[in-house]
Amino acid sequence: MAIRNAFHRAGATIIDCNLTHMIAATVLYMIGSDQVKGFAVTLWLGVATSMYTAVFVARVIFDIAENGSGSPRLKMLRVIGHTNIDFMGWFPYCLTASILITVVAIVSPSFAARACSTSTSRAAFPCKRCSISRRIRNRCESG
């Protein structure tokens, strides 16, 4: 009964989602270039196969599993057993690391600009061939 109800409730969502993708693939095929048309055909075939599998094949597999044994025990595969990791204990360290990475990402372009504007850096990396970024290269030429 639970399997039947689950498929009944999920069926409308599965069909709606896949039909939306098929409409998008059809529009891409109608207005796209050759490469986009190839992608649209592949997307359309993949979505059609996925929808057929989700609606019909999965139902048949669950019906066979239900009827094959007296009372089916449908369990998820447990690849990793029970873990004792204290994720909240690691939270302060992860938060500190993410803040430091953000600060370095924000501050590093200004350090790179200062390094590029020094005379020894200019000899090693002329500004016209500077590969850091256009914004920093403009700072080097003005500084």
| Residue range 102-120: mean pLDDT, rounded | 64
When the pLDDT of each residue in the chain is averaged and rounded to a whole number, the result is: 75
DSSP annotation of 132 reads S
Give 5-27 pLDDT, tens digit per residue: 887 788 888 888 889 999 999 99
Q: Which residues does 76 contact at the CB level (< 8 Å), separation at least 6?
A: none
Give 75-93 pLDDT, tens digit per residue: 666 667 777 878 788 888 8
| Residue range 27-52: mean pLDDT, rounded | 91
